Amino acid sequence: MERLALTDQLACHGDVFRSLLSGLSPAEFRWKPSPEKWCALEVICHLHDEEREDFRARLMLVLGSPEVPWPKIDPAAWVTERKYVEQDFNTVLDQFLIERSRSVAWLRELTDPPWRNAYMHPKVGPVSCELLLTNWVAHDLHHIRQLVNLRYAYLAANTKVPLDYAGTW
């Protein structure tokens, strides 16, 4: 896919996250289908951190200085280290949406970037700008699916009404 289409998808995904997550009650955004799964609050905290410290930061590095080693990240550890479950849901959602707007604006302002640049990752080999941007979109889709599944599971767990009329999930 071309860079502008992928950037447009990132912009649209911001709207999807806003719609999926706006107006959730504390009971719903803290609900987990099982202890090892993430709740919606943890997902949005993860997205906020990934927006700033992974995808945008790394794409900036590859475009500007592909030879510079990437800063280490540990998204799985951040969940507890950064106390995601204790964060204010609406604040983090707003912060994520602001960061997403910044990312989209930055991507749209790029003029003739060195799109063929690649970072030589010590474990996975070359990581191109195209790979990073495409996987940024895929990462969004992964978490959109996760949030939709969470919302459905929360509904199923909190109603006595059968949901089979809606169709097979």
The position carrying tokens 């860079």 is 3
Average pLDDT score, the chain: 96
Q: Is the dihedral of CA 10, 96, 108, 3 positive or negative?
A: negative
107, 7 Cβ separation under 8 angstroms: yes
62, 118 Cβ separation under 8 angstroms: yes
Tokens of 136: 């940024």
pLDDT in tens, 40-71: 999 999 999 999 999 999 999 999 999 999 99
- Residue 22 pLDDT exceeds 80: yes
Range of the domain at 157: 3-166
pLDDT of residue 87: 98
Enumerate residues 6+ apart whose C-beta is below 8 A from 49.
Answer: 75, 78, 82
The terminus-to-terminus CA distance of the chain in angstroms comes to 30
Kindly report the CATH number assigned to the domain that includes residue 70. Answer: 1.20.120.450
How far apart are alpha carbons 126 and 120 in whole angstroms?
Answer: 4
How far apart are alpha carbons 126 and 129 in whole angstroms?
Answer: 10
Q: Which of 104, 99, 72, 78 is nearest to 5 (CA)?
A: 104
pLDDT in tens, 135-163: 999 999 999 999 999 999 999 999 999 99
Tokens of 75: 């998204």
Domains of the chain: total:
1
Average pLDDT over residues 15-40: 97
